[in-house]
Copies of this chain bind each other. A is one copy, B any other.
Amino acid sequence: MEKQILDGRLVADSVKNSLKERVENLIKKGITPCLATILVGDDPSSETYVNMKGKACEKLGMKSIKIHLSKETSTEELLETIQKLNEDDTVHGILLQHPVPSQIDERKAFDAIDIRKDVDGVTSFGYGQTALGFGKFPSCTPAAIMKILDYYEIPIEGKHAVVIGRSPILGKPVSALLLNENATVTTCHSRTTNLAEIVKLADIVVAAVGKPNFIQGDWIKPGAVVLDAGYNKGNIGDVDYEACLVNSSAITPVPGGVGPVTISMLLKHTVDAAEESLKAN
């Protein structure tokens, strides 16, 4: 069977190229699209992610603001920080790096982000709009998965998509987006009793479970498309790549698959938000 390796770097480059002119036009009009990232605590991989996002902004001529709060930060202090960024007209997108320390009410913090600046797609309001089909900023990894399918012209309508995982920023929104594109969608999770059998039905498999090499090769129906949204320690995906490659018709690698596209979607959402702010003024 012919295989297609779904190269996320190509997709990300195409997204970023499409943003260049938009960023330039905004700058001409006196607006530099700006992403504010908030990091609470000293988790080294979170720091790496935040730095990557900041650099990606700058490379495109956008601005990034990094706010680093101590690991003792209270929910109230974090809410104040978010409120200030909500009110700051020069900030177009706000990203609160997940996870936050355990004393913080993460949901409350996410939901404090102004929906117009929720470029990372974490508010429950934004989730509702996305699931009902008119959200502006779906979570970035689900948006990246849809972008990859679109870029490689993989049909979705009428296909059976099986999503493994149901987190608020990954499994749930990607299920919703696939459903809105007319896939029949099954959402599986840790309590699913017959996972292998269900995955075997899938035309499109989305792994969003957070367990390294979890999806097995003999679960994949011949010809299925496999998208790996996992990012486990050591840059290992949720999919046993070599094994799943055998039956799949198309598959994303890790690294170089969903990850780079996720960051490009964050940039796109921030540019979208900056353009919207211009319209609003």
Number of A residues near B (Cβ < 8 Å) is 32
Query: Known: A128-B127, A131-B127, A131-B128. Contact between A184 and B188, CB under 8 A?
Result: yes
What residues on B are CB-neighbors of A184 within 8 Å?
Answer: 186-189, 191-193, 198
A188's nearest neighbour on chain B, judged by CB, is: B184
CB of A125 to closest CB in B, whole Å: 5
Tell me the bound Cα distance from A107 to B133 in angstroms: 11
Enumerate the 6 nearest inter-chain pairs by beta-carbon distance, A residue then B residue, closest first. A128-B128, A124-B128, A186-B186, A182-B191, A127-B128, A184-B192
Partner of A124 from B107, B125, B157 at Cβ < 8 Å:
B125
CB of A91 to closest CB in B, whole Å: 23
CB of A225 to closest CB in B, whole Å: 16
Q: Which of A132, A168, A179 has the most CB of B within 10 A?
A: A132
CB of A99 within 8 A of chain B?
no
Tell me the bound Cα distance from A194 to B202 in angstroms: 12
Tell me the bound Cα distance from A131 to B172 in angstroms: 8
Tell me the bound Cα distance from A198 to B184 in angstroms: 10
Tell me the bound Cα distance from A207 to B131 in angstroms: 20
Tell me the bound Cα distance from A193 to B182 in angstroms: 10
Tell me the bound Cα distance from A128 to B175 in angstroms: 14
What residues on B are CB-neighbors of A160 within 8 Å?
Answer: 194, 198
Are B132 and A172 within 8 A (Cβ)?
yes
CB of A263 within 8 A of chain B?
no
What residues on B are CB-neighbors of A175 within 8 Å?
Answer: 187
CB of A185 within 8 A of chain B?
yes
CB of A54 within 8 A of chain B?
no
